[in-house]
Structure 1
Amino acid sequence: MTRPPRQPAGARSGRFAPLRGDLGRYRRLFAEVGRPWLWFSRAALSDAQLRAIIDDPAVEALAYVADGADAGILELDFRKAGECELAFLGLVPGAIGRGLGRQLAAEAIRRAFARPISRLWLHTCTLDHPAAVRFYLSVGFVPYRRALEVADDPRLTGGLPRDAAPDVPIV
Structure 2
Amino acid sequence: MDTKNPHLPMGYSPVPPGKLANVVTCLEMLEPPPTRPAPAGSLTVERWHSPSVEDYRDLFRRVGEDWMWVSRLLMAKEELAAILGDPGVEVYTLTDGRERLGLLELDFRKEGECELAFFGLVPEAIGGGSGRLLMNTAIGRAWEKPISRFWVHTCNFDSPAALPFYQRSGFKPYAVMVEVSDDPRLTGEMRRDAASHVPLIEVP
When normalised by structure 2's length, the TM-score is 0.79
**How far, CA to CA, are the matches of 1:6 and 1:112 in structure 2?**
14
Which is strand-richer, 1 or 2? 2
| Structure having greater relative contact order (Cα 8 Å, sep ≥ 6) | 2
- 2:71 corresponds to which residue? 41
Asked if 1:16 corresponds to 2:50, the answer is: no
Deviation by residue 1:95-132 (Cα, 9 ceiling, x = unmatched): 11121111111111101000000100000000000111
**How far, CA to CA, are the matches of 1:48 and 1:164 in structure 2?**
26
* Greater C-alpha radius of gyration: 2
3-state SS of 2:154 partner? coil
Deviation by residue 1:11-65 (Cα, 9 ceiling, x = unmatched): 5631313151422221110000001101000010121111011110000112211
3-state SS of 1:162 partner? coil
CA 1:122–1:26: 2 relative to 1, 3 Å: same
- 1:27 corresponds to which residue? 57
- 1:2 corresponds to which residue? 30
**How far, CA to CA, are the matches of 1:66 and 1:124 in structure 2?**
26
RMSD of the alignment, in Å? 1.5
When normalised by structure 1's length, the TM-score is 0.94
3-state SS of 1:124 partner? strand
Runs of 4+ in 1 over 4 A off after TM superposition: none
Structure 1 alignment gaps of length 5 or more:
none
3-state SS of 1:110 partner? helix
Structure 2 alignment gaps of length 5 or more:
1-28
Aligned residues: 171
- 2:3 corresponds to which residue? none
Partner AA of 2:103 in structure 1: I
Deviation at 1:7, TM superposition (A): 2.3
8 Å CA contact retained: 1:86, 1:122: yes
Q: Mean alpha-carbon deviation: is it higher for 67-76 or for 119-128? A: 67-76
CA 1:68–1:113: 2 relative to 1, 3 Å: same
Q: Mean alpha-carbon deviation: is it higher for 137-146 or for 65-74? A: 65-74
- 2:109 corresponds to which residue? 79
Asked if 1:120 corresponds to 2:150, the answer is: yes
